[in-house]
Every structure is written in structure tokens, then in C-alpha cells.
Amino acid sequence: MSATESELYYDPYDFEIDTDPYPIWARLREEQPLYYNERYDFYAVSRFDDAERVLVDWPTYSSARGTVLELIKANMDIPPGSIIFEDPPAHDLHRGILSRVFTPKKMEAIEPKVREFCARSLDPLVGSGGFDFVTDLGAEMPMRTIGMLLGIPEQDQVELRDRIDEGLKLDEGTMPSFDNTDMGADQTSLFADYIEWRSLHPSDDLMTELLLAEFEDVDGEIRTLSHEEVINFVNLLAAAGNETTTRLIGWTGKVLAEHPDQRRDILEDRSLVRPAIEELLRFEPPSPVQARCVTTDVEIHGQTVPEGSAILSLNASGNRDDRKFPNGDSFDIHRKMDHHLSFGFGAHFCLGAALARLEGRVALDEVLQRFPTWEVDWDNAVQARTSTVRGWDHMPVTVP
């Protein structure tokens, strides 16, 4: 159903809507701040305050059945170690293990390596007349970075990235189905051999750290993670570390091409790189929708959302809410803001936020060093179609 039609309809799987969901989200904020979709039986909130409340109030809006609508609807068993699909206290224990590694200080320490990965991707393209923000940079640098952190051999990183990407794609504009057995087997086949090798040959990487980390379980037992838990941790980190930053870099190419005056401001004053990335995250979040399961009847805007319902926090819509961000549909690298919802909020705030911000700003800085201006080659741009992230499979640009 077209966004131009009078009936207000939102569907996270509809390709036409996904091309530009912002007009529909703007209508939702004003006309139906609590929206119900009969076809897929879910509710959705679109205003900043409501979206933030869903993200923060984990006892009412649980992640334990998944944070993707089709997972909640499949009512499938979530494998252990999937921290984004857990609630406290188990979530806090498992997150604490990873938080030792993903600190802002440790992420800043890897900046020279991230710049090296960017240079490796961009230097051969100088003088070529153009490049692709996604395939030449966005799909390369994040893959190398998370692969380095995890300890995945460089020769295997491309295959792993491609298999993860393929698993996220929507073939048609409807809700995909999930087979719990197949998903578990795929996760195991991706990383089991690496983890078995690392258990016998420890190294200075996150995979080894996960294998060796001791923690107190919810039952009070001091233990290490099982291999199955480590597999699920690594699978989660590899997918998140590749996909969302790739989309951020693709949006960087598109949005700054459409705002050449602000791109020129950044080129002339590199201190604007950080706020530019923050505004890009607000303006085009790579992960625009988060799903939760309601654990008790709750009233929202005078309506009761029943226990057991699936509800979507439309954080990308909240990021454009004029109640929070004046002129929210405008892109402004000089905007002052305290926080947006692109990394979530509360207990499930994105553990890799510091890494994503680092990769985003380094990528922009390195591109500007080599390519001060560019234009999008729209004839060859291809939007990605997934239910979990929003962005581009190809964002080719031409350069003088």
C-alpha cells in the first residue's frame, strides 16, 4: 500500500514503505501514536517519549522472546548467549563479560588499525572516477575490524560476512519464517571450528577472552561460558559488527551528497566529523525498529495493549519527532542534542556504540581526505531489504 494513499498503514516488511517510511511515521506520530497492524498482529509507538519508554522499561517490554518481530511471532526458543534477546539478570551478567572489551577507551585504541583498513580500501580507488560507499568501504572496513577483534582469520572474513548478510535479506515484502533448528545449526557451522581451535590455542582476541572469562551465574555458580554460549556471542557480535556500520557508511555517502554545503563545512573543519556522524545516526538509523513482547496489560494513549502482544519501538521515527528534535526531518550537523535512540536506550543500549561511532567518523574522515566531493550514481544505487536494518546494498558515487 502506497504512502500516498489516505488509509494509514504501516508494515515493516513492505518494500515500498521501506523505501521512505518517514512520511508514514510522521502521520503515525500525529494521528495514531499507538498503532495496531491487524495483518501481523503487532502494536507500534512512534513518538520519541513512547519509543524511549518501551526501550527503557524492560520488565514491561521484554526482549526475552526476541527483538525482531518475526522471532517473537515464531515463538521460538532463543539460544543462550544472545544478550540482545535476554532480560536482566541474565542479560546484565552476560553483558558484563563483553563490556570489559567494548569500552570507549579500548575502542579508541584501535583507531590506527581502523584507519589502516580504510586506507587499504580507498587508496586503490583514487583517480578512478568513483567508488561505492558500501561495497568498497562499508562492507570492507567493519568486517576487517570486527574480524580482527574476534580473532577470525582474514582469509575467512569475506565468506562469513556474505553468509551473515544473506541470512538477513528479505526475498519478498512479507514476514519471513524462521526454523529454530536451522538457525542454531547455521550459527554452529559458522563459528564452531574457530572456537574449538581457540580453546586449544589461546590468543589476544575477543574469542579467547570469552572462552576464558569467569563470572557468577544467576544461580551463584562461578563458571565460564559453554562453547554453545560463546558461539552465540560470537555470531551476534559478527552480525552486529558487520551489518549496522556498513549501513551507516552507506547513509553517509547518500546524505552528505544531498547536503554539499554541510559536507564542505566538515571538509573545512574536521572537528565537525563527530557531530556529523551523530546527526547521521539520528537522521538515518541503520537499525530503525526494535520489537518487544508485552509482559502485562499496559495502557498507552488511552488504549490497552494486552499481555503477550508484540510491540514495535519505532526509534527512527522518534528520532524525527519535532517534540524532541525541532525540525526533526531536517539534516543539520550543527544540531545540539543530548541523545537519540539509534543505539537504543536503557539496559539494552548498544554495546558496540563506541565502535560504530569510531568506524563512522574514521570512514568519513578518510573519505574526505581523498574525495572532497561526490555525487550519487542513482542509476546503480540499490537499497537493501531486510527486516532488521535499513540502508543500501550499493551506494555508488562519482567523483571529479
Task: Note the pLDDT tens digit of each residue in 139-193.
Answer: 899 989 988 888 888 777 777 777 766 666 667 677 777 654 444 445 456 678 8
Q: What phi and psi values does residue 152 have, to the nearest 5 degrees?
A: -85, 125
- 188 closest CA partner among 123, 233, 243, 138: 233
**pLDDT single digits (tens) 201-244:** 898 888 898 899 888 887 888 998 888 888 888 888 887 777 88
Q: Is the pLDDT of residue 328 over 70?
A: yes
Alpha-carbon dihedral angle through residues 139, 141, 144, 145, given to the nearest 10 degrees: -120
Domains and CATH numbers, the chain: 15-328+346-398 (1.10.630.10)
Q: Is the pLDDT of residue 125 over 70?
A: yes
Mean pLDDT of 312-334: 98
CB 313 within 8 A of CB 285: no
Q: Is the Cα torsion angle 285, 287, 289, 290 positive or negative in sign?
A: negative
Letter string b/e over residues 97-134, b meaning 16 or more CB atoms within 10 A of that residue's CB? bbeebbeeeebeebeeebbebbeebbeebeeeebbbbb
Interacting residues of 44 by C-beta distance below 8 A, sequence separation 6+: 10, 28, 34, 35, 36, 37, 311, 312, 313, 314
Q: pTM score, two decimals?
A: 0.91
- As a whole number, the mean pLDDT across the chain is 89
Mean pLDDT of 285-289: 96
Residue written as grid cell 555525487: 375
Share of the chain above pLDDT 90, in %: 60
